[in-house]
Chain A
Amino acid sequence: MTTALTTPTTVPAHAGTGGLRTAARLTALDLRLLLREPGVIVGLIAFPAVTVLILAGVFGSVPDPEFGGVRPSEHYVVGYMGVVIAQMGLVTLPAHIATHRELGVLRRYRASGVGAGALVASQAALGAVLGAAGALVVLVVGGAVYGVPAPDDPALVAGWLVAGLVCFVAIGLALGVLMPSSRAANAFGNLVFIPMFLLGGGGPPRDVMTGAMQTISDVLPLTHVIGGLRLSWLGATDDPHVLWWPFTVAAVAVLLAVRTARRRVA
């Protein structure tokens, strides 16, 4: 190990202090550390993967008007890409950031000259990588079991995935800054995630919800992300899908995070 440390390829004389390089290095390190803690990764992916397999199995693969005329299995498999992204933003990322904050890891990085921008970028990239990887796993697992057609509009699918990642990464960053501890982040994240998952497209189809449930569902960013994914992938959906809404929620989350972070430094 000592040899590895002294090898120029592993220890560059000057690896650069650019914010982006530092952010990339921190993201890579965080991913490596998460892989050593498989519980986090399993928790992020197992819940949506298992749930989608059950629901898709229960409702079957016959086109159904209650699911906007598409096969229920496809409805759930495509929609659960959004669910896993939401789980990353509401549970995994806030708990990770709050734990680092609680332990003083972020302070130690800051005291060593890691810029606030690099820290935020590294956590945002971490969330985006986890969300995208989780969505891919759900798609592969669900598709392998029930089959998924080729996307109707691949560019739009990519657009909605980006919208979902931007929205929930921003929420994850905000919760990570706002929550006083990792326990609070975990508790609050689950408290928000479970109803959002049930009413935002991961639970019963919109047609069987009560009027009040539909009203709540309409304002949830997950509803729109899942609706957009279903429309762009399957060509039809009954779910709302306003593209600017996830970005608006993201902007509000970023503002909240910046205000809170500034207050903490003052």
Chain B
Amino acid sequence: MCGSARRRTLWGMTNTMSTARPCVPGSGDPDRVVCIDGLVKRYGSTEVVAGVSFEVRRGELFGLLGTNGAGKTTTVEILQGMRRSSGGRVEVLGLDPSAAGDRLRRRIGSQLQDANLPARLRVGEALRLFSSLHPDPRPLDEVVEEWNLGRLLRRPFAGLSGGERQRLFVALALVGRPEVVFLDELTQNLDPTARRQTWDVVRRIRERGTTVVLVTHDVEEAERLCDRIVVMHRGRVVADGTPAAIVESLGGAATVRFTDAEIDARRLRDLPGVAAVRRHGPEVEVAGDGPILAYVGAHLVAEGRPALDLRLDRPTLEDRFVALTEEDRP
């Protein structure tokens, strides 16, 4: 199901795969918001999505992570019914997006990548227009207050900063009380401050109980925000799990580093959990797993040489992401 057995074999990711969540479209699970099984999208002879399978549960803040051109946006556009698939099965809120079309789109919220509003459209007009498209919109004064748009109501779209635009887009995506909201490259081109403000916005959406599908190529963003991540590379799912589990799949290796030009580094090899010791000039690097920081620290104190810069580096999601997406697949 969902090709998970094959993924385990290829990538050695048993501990990160969500095989406990079989995804069969049409099974009527009310807590399953998105279900994709073997999704394929071809343009001519080019397969941009090649048998993707995953699911999103109600209330999750789910991340679809991948490099540019990984097939993320195409996958999401198929979920939104904006594009037709070439194969496989897709279900969103129990509906087939290609058949449900506008009926489904009124139940979901969408912040699209590279989609704008008319330059002279004012913020207030945009809010009124998008509100009018939904059968039971949220009161606009509430939306305006929530996303801090009050002083921008008369400002044309072209006059908004990047962060203000993203706040408006999120407000427009949420004005119809969607059950699930798709946010595609939400923080693209934002400065660090606006980026962090936008992250707070995403957390607030989730706190209100709305399921969020966050599409991003930003590993830090996915790691900080998401409960669960699917990593896509060249149209395929190469990892599926919590950020911690995906990092853990590297084997849990950790590295302790400190500076001491005179210590006998060979004796560190005998400490529990230590796999290797390397010296780069005055810097000593101790690799291993388990509580090696404690053992190394205790050893240095016992030797009467406590290091001031003793630190532990664990592999990050970015390390795992780079490892996954650097591998060349046929």
- Contact across chains for B82 and A110 when beta carbons are under 8 A apart: yes
B114: A residues at CB distance < 8 A: 104
User: How many inter-chain contacts with C-beta < 8 Å in the A-B complex?
Assistant: 106
- Contact across chains for B116 and A2 when beta carbons are under 8 A apart: no
> A150 interface residue, CB < 8 Å from B?
no
A26: B residues at CB distance < 8 A: 129
Say whether, besides A2-B141, A2-B153, A25-B132, A111 and B118 are in contact (CB < 8 Å).
Answer: no
> A22 interface residue, CB < 8 Å from B?
yes
Q: Which residue of A lies closest to B84 (CB)?
A: A266
B139: A residues at CB distance < 8 A: 6, 11
Q: Which residue of A lies closest to B150 (CB)?
A: A2
- Contact across chains for B120 and A33 when beta carbons are under 8 A apart: yes
Q: How far is the CA of A26 from the CA of B121 in the complex (A)?
A: 12
Pick the contact of A5 from B83, B118, B128 — CB < 8 Å? B128
Chain A interface category by residue count: 35 or more
- Contact across chains for B136 and A103 when beta carbons are under 8 A apart: no
Pick the contact of A114 from B103, B127, B133 — CB < 8 Å? B133
- Contact across chains for B121 and A29 when beta carbons are under 8 A apart: yes
Say whether, besides A6-B139, A100-B118, A265-B84, A1 and B112 are in contact (CB < 8 Å).
Answer: no
Pick the contact of A113 from B127, B133, B136 — CB < 8 Å? B133
Q: Which residue of B lies closest to A14 (CB)?
A: B135
Q: How far is the CA of A14 from the CA of B106 in the complex (A)?
A: 13
A219: B residues at CB distance < 8 A: none
Say whether, besides A5-B124, A22-B133, A29-B121, A265 and B106 are in contact (CB < 8 Å).
Answer: no
- Contact across chains for A112 and B176 when beta carbons are under 8 A apart: yes
Least CB distance from A226 to B in Å reads: 33
- Contact across chains for B105 and A103 when beta carbons are under 8 A apart: no
Least CB distance from A129 to B in Å reads: 17
Q: Which residue of B lies closest to A11 (CB)?
A: B140
B136: A residues at CB distance < 8 A: 13-14
- Contact across chains for A36 and B120 when beta carbons are under 8 A apart: yes
Q: Which residue of A lies closest to B121 (CB)?
A: A33
- Contact across chains for A111 and B144 when beta carbons are under 8 A apart: no
B313: A residues at CB distance < 8 A: none
Least CB distance from B310 to A in Å reads: 51
Which of B128, B129, B133 has the most chain A CB atoms closer than 10 A to its own CB?
Answer: B133
B side interface size, CB within 8 A: 41
> B263 interface residue, CB < 8 Å from A?
no
Tell me which residues from 100 to 120 in chain B have a Cβ below 8 Å from any Cβ of chain A.
101-103, 105-106, 110, 112, 114-120
> B80 interface residue, CB < 8 Å from A?
yes
Pick the contact of A108 from B83, B115, B128, B134 — CB < 8 Å? B115
Q: Which residue of A lies closest to B85 (CB)?
A: A266
Q: How far is the CA of A158 from the CA of B130 in the complex (A)?
A: 36
Least CB distance from B42 to A in Å reads: 10
- Contact across chains for A108 and B117 when beta carbons are under 8 A apart: yes
> B131 interface residue, CB < 8 Å from A?
yes
> A115 interface residue, CB < 8 Å from B?
yes
B239: A residues at CB distance < 8 A: none
Q: How far is the CA of A11 from the CA of B175 in the complex (A)?
A: 12
Q: How far is the CA of A229 from the CA of B297 in the complex (A)?
A: 95
Q: How far is the CA of A266 from the CA of B127 in the complex (A)?
A: 30
A258: B residues at CB distance < 8 A: none
A149: B residues at CB distance < 8 A: none
Least CB distance from B182 to A in Å reads: 8
Pick the contact of A14 from B103, B137, B140 — CB < 8 Å? B137
> A107 interface residue, CB < 8 Å from B?
yes
> B125 interface residue, CB < 8 Å from A?
yes
- Contact across chains for B116 and A108 when beta carbons are under 8 A apart: yes
Q: How far is the CA of A130 from the CA of B179 in the complex (A)?
A: 39
Q: How far is the CA of A110 from the CA of B124 in the complex (A)?
A: 20
> B154 interface residue, CB < 8 Å from A?
yes
B105: A residues at CB distance < 8 A: 110-113
Tell me which residues from 302 to 325 in chain B have a Cβ below 8 Å from any Cβ of chain A.
none
Residues 10-35 of chain A, each 1 if its beta carbon lies under 8 Å from chain B, else 0: 11111111000010011001101100
- Contact across chains for B82 and A1 when beta carbons are under 8 A apart: no
Pick the contact of B115 from A2, A104, A266 — CB < 8 Å? A104
Pick the contact of B128 from A10, A14, A111 — CB < 8 Å? A10
Pick the contact of B134 from A110, A113, A115 — CB < 8 Å? A113
Least CB distance from A211 to B in Å reads: 46
- Contact across chains for A11 and B106 when beta carbons are under 8 A apart: no
> A105 interface residue, CB < 8 Å from B?
yes
B110: A residues at CB distance < 8 A: 108, 111-112
A104: B residues at CB distance < 8 A: 112, 114-116
A6: B residues at CB distance < 8 A: 139-141
Q: How far is the CA of A5 from the CA of B83 in the complex (A)?
A: 34
> B93 interface residue, CB < 8 Å from A?
no
- Contact across chains for A5 and B141 when beta carbons are under 8 A apart: yes
Tell me which residues from 187 to 204 in chain B have a Cβ below 8 Å from any Cβ of chain A.
none
Q: Which residue of B lies closest to A5 (CB)?
A: B140
> A58 interface residue, CB < 8 Å from B?
no
Residues 113-126 of chain A, each 1 if its beta carbon lies under 8 Å from chain B, else 0: 11100000000000
Please name 5 further chain A to chain B contacts, defined as beta carbons within 8 Å, in addition to the given A2-B141, A30-B118, sorted by A numbering.
Answer: A2-B144, A4-B124, A17-B106, A22-B132, A265-B83
22 inter-chain pairs at a CB distance below 8 angstroms, sorted by A residue, are A1-B150, A1-B154, A2-B150, A5-B141, A6-B139, A10-B128, A13-B136, A25-B132, A26-B129, A29-B129, A33-B120, A37-B120, A100-B118, A103-B119, A104-B112, A108-B110, A108-B117, A110-B82, A112-B106, A112-B110, A112-B172, A265-B84
Shortest 3 CB-CB distances between A and B: which pairs?
A104-B115, A113-B106, A6-B141
